[in-house]
Every structure is written in structure tokens, then in C-alpha cells.
């Protein structure tokens, strides 16, 4: 009887142990799944095995750059749009926007690109004419974008070194100077810039600075500072450029816009707008050495950016519920670039925990696009063709499918990865290799799309900077 009781106790103990082990196994499995779907903040996840992207070589890259460069020549110093109807636009034959400007805002995006093929796409034109999807009686503007001008200036700065054609090099230098002059002329009295997204009425394009529809934002001002800094660094070292008065004006304009960014309240704007303020302030510190810009950049990061990233690496803007607009690759790339540029200028004498936190968020941002579980179907956001799926928390992500936020391979993500690699932020050779593979994959898709498409995609003025930065990061 005692033996039978002992056997029962053994069986109960064994059953209990098996039950416990099963629970432990489930916990371990759960933890493994969670960790697999949570980006590391100290290492880069592997590229999904199914991603092959599009192969390209330096010749393909140059072809893509030159194709967009030709388009930029086509939209350089455009004639002004003086009137719009539902089916046509009246273009001035005498008034231009001025040297150093490219395009006519969304008009160029929707109309001018198709003029290359000598046809007007009425469906695209209707996007310009129709009311903005926000439903606020606003209509896309026809004024050149400061942001586009700033990107093209930087593209020519980075491309100059690799261009062997003397005439092209001379053209790039002239356009850098003209572009900087345009940025300085467009600067408002407080140092800011109008974003120029909207025109005043449906029939009357925005032709002057008397505007109620357009805001001064960090989006354009931050990129303008970056362009002025890179333009200044380029011109002061270029042989044959001897205009110290012009260079002094550039520095003064950098300070003026940086002061605007220091005071401007960005808290009502998406996180990526605040990241542009970070980029501008960091760039101003880089060129002036004035610590007030670095101090303001750090406080903006801590107060307005740091706390708006999920543990899985997705960026969002405050709201109830949170707005995951910033999780789109285009906007996450803006934030990634700004973090990399801030990280690169923080002195070693500063609190090391600050740099560690920024570096952690850089890792999480990159990993967010590589790990599984980030889409509505449970997969990774980087897809089999090297493009991107929408984040599962983005509005209508279950029906959105691919994330077509300003291009299938958003240029700003390329810009961000280039900054991370340029400043050698990643820790191990493996991390750097995976990040570079990710970058090359993105650039390859963009090169392929640019070279095959009979009509250029939107925002080529930003894409041209992608190719120039990549070439400069991978000489």
C-alpha cells in the first residue's frame, strides 16, 4: 500500500514537472517570438532571405542620375503659371521664377513631367486642379518648393567630384551658386520659408508672398540650412571661386534660419517635421561652431522626438490614437538622417547616455523594416522586390498594401542610411555589411525604376540626391 502511494506521488510529481516544463517551453517560445519581432537596439537584423532587389552597376547609376539631371534642366527657372482652369493652364511668356529655382511645385509633379513625352495626362492634371484630400478648400501650389531646390543643390555638390565632364562640372558649380542665392532671396524676415504646398484659390496660382494658405515650417527650413552648409563647404574649397562676400552672406543666412528653427514651435507638426529642425540646427552647429545650436538640437531631440518611437522601431506622431504617418519609409528616413547627423556632432565630453540613446534609436529604425510582424499579414516591411509594405498600424494598412508614400523606394530612407554609414555609427562589420546591403538594395530598385520608366516618377528632385549621396558613400 505504501509502495502504491509512493508510486502515485512519483506520477503526480512527474505530471507536475511535465506541466511545468511545458509552460516553461511555451514561455521560452513566446519570448523567442517576441524577440524575433522586436528590433535589437545593438545589432542589425538580417535582410529577409527572399529579398533580391535589382542589380545595378556604376553605369546604371550614372544613367539614372543623368536622366533626372536632364529633367532638372527642363524645369530650371520655369515660367510662372498665371491662371488655371479645370482643363488647362496659362503660362507666362515673360515672368520666370528665377535662376536657382527648379519646377513649379506640384504643377511640375503632375504636369511638367508629362510635357517631356509631349502629352498632358488629364487624370494627373485633375490631381492638381481638384480639392486637396483634406477637404479644406485648398489646392496644390504652383510655386517652386524650397525643399526641392535644397535637395538639388546638395545633389550637385556630391556629384561634382565624380563628374568627369568639364562642362557639366562648370554647370553644377553655377547652379549651386544660383541655388544658394535663390534660397537666400526666398528667406523670410524671421529666417523661415513658406512651404508652398497650396495656392490661394482654385483659379489663381500663388504668385507672391502674400499668402494665407502656406505655412512656415521646419520641413523646408531645415533642408535649406543643410543645403547652405553643404554649398558653403563646397564653394570655400573650390578652385577659382573667389567671392568672400557671397560666402559671408551664406553663413549669415544659415544663422538666420537656424535662429528661426530654434524658436519655431513644431509640436503641432508630425515628428518628421521636428526632425528637419534637428537637421538644420545640427548643420548650423557644424559650420558655425556655435554651441547654442547644438544645445537647442539636443533639447528638441529630447523633448520632441525621442519619445515618439515604439519598441518595434516604428515612428509616430502624438495623438489619440497615435498617428503612424511617420512610420512610412519616406518620413522615417527623414528622422533616421537627422539622428545620424546629430549623433555625429555630439562631443565626446557630453553625457554618453545621450549618444547611446540616439544610437539605439538608429538601430531600431533600420531593423523596423527588416524584421517580421510589421505588416498586416505578419511579414517584414521590405518585400520580395525590394520595395515596402505599409506598417500594420498605419491608417487602412490592411487595405493599403504597398507603402507608396512618395515612391516605392522612398529617397529619404536612402538619405538616412547614407548618413548612418558615412558617419560610421554602426558597431560591428556585420552590422555595416547588412546596412550597406539594405541601402544598395534600395538604390538598385530606384535606379531600375528611373531607367525603365518612360515618364519620371514624382519627387525626382529628391531622388537625384539619393544617387549622389550613395555614390559619395560608396566611392
The whole-number pLDDT of residue 42 equals 77
DSSP, collapsed to helix, strand or coil, labels residue 176 as helix
Query: Which CATH number applies to 37-473?
Result: 1.50.10.20
Between 24 and 93, where is the model more confident? 93
- pLDDT tens readout for residues 326-362: 999 999 999 999 999 999 999 988 889 999 999 999 9
CA-angle at 265, arms to 263 and 268, nearest 5°: 170
- pLDDT at residue 4 above 50? no
Mean pLDDT within 49-54 = 74
Q: What's the whole-model pTM score?
A: 0.89
Q: What is the pLDDT of residue 326?
A: 94
Can you give the pLDDT at residue 318?
87
Cell of 290: 556655435
Q: Which of 180, 160, 184, 162 is nearest to 172 (CA)?
A: 160
Distance CA(403)–CA(397), nearest Å, equals 9
Q: How far is residue 471's CA from residue 154's CA, in Å, rounded to a whole number?
A: 13
Instruction: Say what the pLDDT of residue 118 is.
Output: 58
For the cut 50, the answer to whether the pLDDT of residue 152 exceeds it is yes
Alpha helices in 161-290 (DSSP H): 166-186, 218-237, 244-263, 271-288
Count of beta carbons in the 10 Å neighbourhood of residue 194: 22
User: Which percentage of the chain shows pLDDT scores above 90?
Assistant: 58
pLDDT tens-digit map of 227-286:
999 999 999 999 889 999 999 999 999 999 999 999 998 888 999 999 999 999 999 999
Contact (CB, 8 A) for 316 and 394: no
Mean pLDDT of the chain: 86
Instruction: Label residue 315 by pLDDT band (50, 70, 90).
Output: very high
> Which residues, other chains included, contact 136 with Cβ-Cβ below 8 Å and sequence gap of 6+?
none
Three-state SS at 301: helix
Query: So what's the pLDDT on residue 319?
Result: 84
Higher pLDDT, 474 or 255: 255
> Is it the case that residue 83 has pLDDT exceeding 80?
yes
110 pLDDT more than 70:
yes
Least confident of 71-85, 125-139, 355-369: 125-139
Q: Which helix (H) or strand (E) holds 94?
A: strand 89-96
Residues paired with 309 in a beta bridge? 315
Q: What is the pLDDT of residue 2?
A: 43
Q: What local confidence, expressed as pLDDT, does residue 208 receive?
A: 67
* Cell 562589420 sits on residue: 429
Each domain of the chain, given as residue ranges in start order, spans: 37-473
Of 84 and 415, the one with more pLDDT: 415
User: pLDDT tens digits, residue range 180-238?
Assistant: 999 999 999 999 999 898 888 888 887 765 567 788 999 999 999 999 999 999 999 99
Amino acid at each position: 500500500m505504501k509502495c502504491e502511494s509512493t508510486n502515485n506521488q512519483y506520477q503526480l510529481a512527474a505530471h507536475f514537472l511535465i506541466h511545468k516544463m511545458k509552460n516553461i517551453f511555451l514561455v521560452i517560445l513566446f519570448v523567442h517570438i517576441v524577440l524575433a519581432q522586436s528590433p535589437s537596439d545593438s545589432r542589425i537584423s538580417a535582410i529577409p532571405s527572399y529579398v533580391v532587389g535589382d542589380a545595378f552597376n556604376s553605369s546604371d547609376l550614372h544613367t539614372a542620375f543623368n536622366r533626372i539631371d536632364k529633367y532638372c534642366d527642363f524645369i530650371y527657372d520655369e515660367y510662372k503659371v498665371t491662371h488655371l482652369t479645370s482643363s488647362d493652364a496659362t503660362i507666362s511668356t515673360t515672368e520666370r521664377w528665377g535662376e536657382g529655382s527648379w519646377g513649379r511645385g506640384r504643377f511640375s509633379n503632375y504636369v511638367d513631367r508629362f510635357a517631356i513625352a509631349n502629352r498632358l495626362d488629364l487624370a494627373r492634371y485633375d490631381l492638381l486642379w481638384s480639392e486637396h484630400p483634406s477637404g479644406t478648400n485648398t489646392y496644390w501650389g504652383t510655386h517652386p518648393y524650397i525643399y526641392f531646390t535644397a535637395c538639388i543643390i546638395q545633389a550637385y555638390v556630391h556629384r561634382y567630384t565624380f563628374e568627369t565632364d568639364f562642362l557639366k562640372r562648370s554647370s553644377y558649380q553655377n547652379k549651386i551658386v544660383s541655388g544658394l542665392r535663390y534660397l537666400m532671396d526666398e528667406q523670410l524676415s524671421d529666417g523661415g520659408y513658406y512651404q508652398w504646398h497650396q495656392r490661394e484659390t482654385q483659379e489663381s496660382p500663388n504668385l507672391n508672398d502674400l499668402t494665407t494658405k502656406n505655412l512656415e515650417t521646419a520641413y523646408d527650413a531645415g533642408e535649406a540650412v543643410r543645403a547652405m552648409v553643404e554649398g558653403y563647404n563646397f564653394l570655400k574649397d573650390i578652385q577659382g571661386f573667389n567671392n568672400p562676400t557671397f560666402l559671408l552672406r551664406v553663413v549669415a543666412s544659415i544663422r538666420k534660419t537656424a535662429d528661426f528653427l530654434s524658436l519655431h514651435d513644431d509640436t503641432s507638426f508630425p515628428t518628421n517635421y521636428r526632425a528637419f529642425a534637428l537637421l538644420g540646427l545640427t548643420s548650423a552647429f557644424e559650420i558655425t561652431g556655435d554651441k547654442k545650436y547644438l544645445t537647442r538640437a539636443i533639447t528638441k531631440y529630447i523633448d520632441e522626438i525621442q519619445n515618439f518611437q515604439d519598441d518595434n522601431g516604428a515612428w509616430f506622431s502624438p495623438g489619440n490614437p497615435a498617428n503612424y504617418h511617420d512610420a512610412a519609409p519616406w518620413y522615417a528616413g527623414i528622422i533616421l538622417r537627422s539622428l545620424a547627423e546629430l549623433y555625429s556632432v555630439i562631443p565626446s565630453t557630453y553625457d554618453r547616455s545621450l549618444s547611446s540613446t540616439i544610437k539605439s534609436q538608429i538601430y531600431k529604425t533600420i531593423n523596423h523594416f527588416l524584421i517580421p510582424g510589421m505588416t498586416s499579414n505578419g511579414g517584414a516591411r521590405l518585400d520580395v522586390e525590394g520595395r515596402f509594405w505599409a506598417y500594420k498600424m498605419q491608417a487602412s494598412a490592411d487595405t493599403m498594401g504597398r507603402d507608396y508614400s512618395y515612391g516605392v523606394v522612398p529617397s529619404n530612407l536612402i538619405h538616412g542610411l547614407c548618413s548612418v554609414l558615412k558617419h560610421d555609427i554602426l558597431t560591428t562589420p556585420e552590422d555595416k555589411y547588412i546596412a550597406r546591403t539594405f541601402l544598395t538594395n534600395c538604390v538598385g530598385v530606384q535606379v531600375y525604376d528611373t531607367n525603365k520608366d518612360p515618364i519620371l516618377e514624382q519627387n525626382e528632385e529628391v531622388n537625384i540626391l539619393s544617387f549622389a549621396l550613395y555614390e559619395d558613400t560608396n566611392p
